[in-house]
Amino acid sequence: MTSYLIRNAQLLGGPAQDILITDGVISEIGTGLSASADVDIDAHGLIALPGLVDLHTHLREPGREDAETVLTGTQAAAKGGYTAVHAMANTFPVADTAGVVEQVWRLGQASGYCDVQPVGAVTVGLEGKKLAELGAMHDSAAGVRVFSDDGKCVDDAVIMRRALEYVKAFDGVVAQHAQEPRLTEGAQMNEGQVSGELGLGGWPAVAEEAIIARDVLLAAHVGSRLHVCHVSTAGSVEIIRWAKGKGWDVTAEVTPHHLLLTDELVRSYDPVYKVNPPLRTAEDVQALRAALADGTIDAVATDHAPHPAEDKDCEWAAAAMGMVGLETALSVVQQAMVDTGLLTWEGVADRMSHRPARIGRLSGHGRPVSVGEPANLVLFDPAYRGSVNPDSFASRSRNTPYRGLDLPGRVHATFLRGVPTVLAGELVELGELA
Ligand SMILES: NC(=O)N[C@@H](CC(=O)O)C(=O)O
């Protein structure tokens, strides 16, 4: 294997040091290392972070390869600094059997850009009626530990209770898309002042909060692990804070877009801002930032939701919900959390690598950048300034709300078990390294 000597990288909580990677492992860290390597990388001014872990990625394969494939999605992940992503189950067919999760897992292995950990559906066909084969998916080669009907809420309390009970047997977790369906029929955006003015159907905060309140009580009742997907309201934060205060095993994620954008953007009627859960108010954004900073919200998860142009370039009501996020996540977090003084880079490593890996029980990821660990790491340039150009994305889809916007920072390099997937900001053709 090619060896790499990364010179003068800024390590978390310490001075700039050299990092030697041999045989896929961090073999030495120190100042002015005398070791020689096949390739030297000048990392002056770059921060060395552990490879990022995403708990919530839509890779769209099988079934919607026009939007994304496992290959293009993992390339986008690598460009964003990720070394592992959890692939959501709302594919066609749905990932509700051992066969489908194994297929996605194998496609991930073949890509080589980023580890793919499939998420299994909670219910057959995401229909909320009958539990899927949770045990078979866990026992498969994919080793599924996170289960979610994301895109849809497991709204039946008995099914949710059974799922929580079932996954306890193998330390799994149910990741809930908290959306009370009856309260959100016909919803087009956040319910509030702006939806009233625009005359668009509202998605009230209580539709999220009511499900989270029910689910934390259910999880406590059966003594199981609950994870709350894409928390978007100040009220949800309060409920999660209360549940954690009780000592219950509840974790939560927030998306980069909910940390930065508000429903005021919907005034443009540009469907690039249409997403589920919807963009909320500035007060919600402040509460989400504070909750991520104090650890009430455990993780940043992208909810990378690629859609082809024909599903987004249409009138608001007809457009699909979702935005791509893998390639801009770290920059958005720098802007919303680091440049505002709310989170240190150590905090970013915790919320974007350590904690998501722990929630997903992923081994080999979310480890510190230290000697003896697998070389899963990202070199990030926080001083870089440039505008977002979706034409340079590795993702097959371009539905980003940041087009043309100046965002800070850039991923300079990503390593997956010692293999560079990104160098000098560009995707590496993995075949070339062989
Ligand atoms: N987050 C989104 O807006 N979209 C998701 C599914 C969903 O959560 O609705 C998608 O798969 O496109």
- What average pLDDT does the segment 142-163 reach? 98
Give the pLDDT confidence score for residue 189 in this predicted structure. 98
pLDDT at 434 exceeding the cut of 90: no
pLDDT for the residue numbered 114: 98
- In angstroms, the CA 276 to CA 331 distance is 21
Name the band, by pLDDT with cuts 50, 70 and 90, for residue 14: confident
Active site residue 303: yes
Atom of ligand 1 nearest to the CA of 307: 12
Q: Residue 232: CB within 6 Å of ligand 1?
A: no
Same domain, 378 and 342: no
Query: Which of 305, 328, 359 is the last residue before a domain boundary?
Result: 359
Q: What percent of the chain is modeled with pLDDT above 70? A: 99
Q: Do 168 and 29 belong together in one domain? A: no
Residue 367 lies in a domain: no
Distance 318 CA to ligand 1 centre (A): 14
Q: Is the pLDDT of residue 291 over 80?
A: yes
Q: To the nearest whole percent, how much of the chain has pLDDT over 90?
A: 98
Query: Ligand 1 pocket test: which of 276, 279, 396, 397 has the largest number of ligand atoms within 8 Å of its C-beta?
Result: 276
Q: Quote the pTM value.
A: 0.98
Same-domain check for residues 109 and 58: yes
Residue 418 in domain:
yes
CA 322–ligand 1 middle distance (angstroms): 5
| Whether residues 162 and 294 fall in one domain | yes
- Chain segment 85-107, per-residue pLDDT in tens: 999 999 999 999 999 999 999 99
Give CA separation, 362 vs 78, 85, 198, 355, 430, in Å.
Answer: 17, 10, 44, 10, 24
* Domain coverage including residue 193: 51-359
Flag whether pLDDT at 433 surpasses 80: no
Question: Does the residue 246 lie in any domain?
Answer: yes
Q: Kindly indicate the confidence band of residue 320, based on its pLDDT and cuts at 50, 70 and 90.
A: very high
69 lies in the same domain as 15: no
35 pLDDT exceeds 50? yes
In a domain, 414, yes or no: yes
Are both 136 and 241 inside the same structural domain? Answer: yes
Mean pLDDT within 150-167: 98
Looking at the fold, whether 173 and 286 belong to one and the same domain comes out as yes
Report d(CA 88, CA 326) in Å as an integer.
14
Q: What is the mean pLDDT of the chain?
A: 97
Quick: pLDDT tens for 347-383.
999 999 999 999 999 999 999 999 999 999 999 999 9
Residue 366: inside a domain, yes or no? no
Asked if residue 98 is part of any domain, the answer here is yes
> What is the number of structural domains in the chain?
2
Asked which of 309, 328, 359 is the last residue of a domain, the reply is 359
Which of residues 359, 394, 423 is at a domain's end? 359
Structure tokens belonging to residue 263: 């429903």
Contact 132, 101 (CB under 8 A): no
Is residue 432 very low, low, confident or very high in pLDDT (cuts 50, 70, 90)?
A: low
Q: The domain that contains 415 carries what CATH number?
A: 2.30.40.10
Cα(151)–Cα(125) distance, integer angstroms: 12
Our answer on whether the CB atom of 399 is closer than 6 Å to any ligand 1 atom is: no
Point out the annotated binding site for Zn(2+): 56, 58, 150, 177, 230, 303
Question: Which pair of structure tokens corresponds to residue 297?
Answer: 């919200």
pLDDT tens, residue by residue, 233-268: 999 999 999 999 999 999 999 999 999 999 999 999
- Mean pLDDT, residues 156-177: 98
Give the DSSP H or E segment for 250: strand 250-254
Q: Which residues contact 361 (CB under 8 A, 6 or more apart)?
A: 145, 171, 173
In a domain, 271, yes or no: yes
Residues 312 and 394 in one domain: no
- 219 by Cβ neighbours in 10 Å (0-12 / 13-18 / 19+) ranks as buried
Same domain, 342 and 405: no
Q: Is residue 428 part of a domain?
A: yes
ipTM over 0.90: yes
Asked if 87 and 189 sit in the same domain, the reply is yes
Same domain? 240 vs 260 = yes
Whether 322 and 377 map to the same domain: the answer is no
Give me the CATH number covering residue 183: 3.20.20.140
Tens digits of residue pLDDT in 171-224: 999 999 999 999 999 999 999 999 999 999 999 999 999 999 999 999 999 999
Contact 290, 213 (CB under 8 A): no
Model confidence at 431, pLDDT cuts 50, 70, 90, reads confident
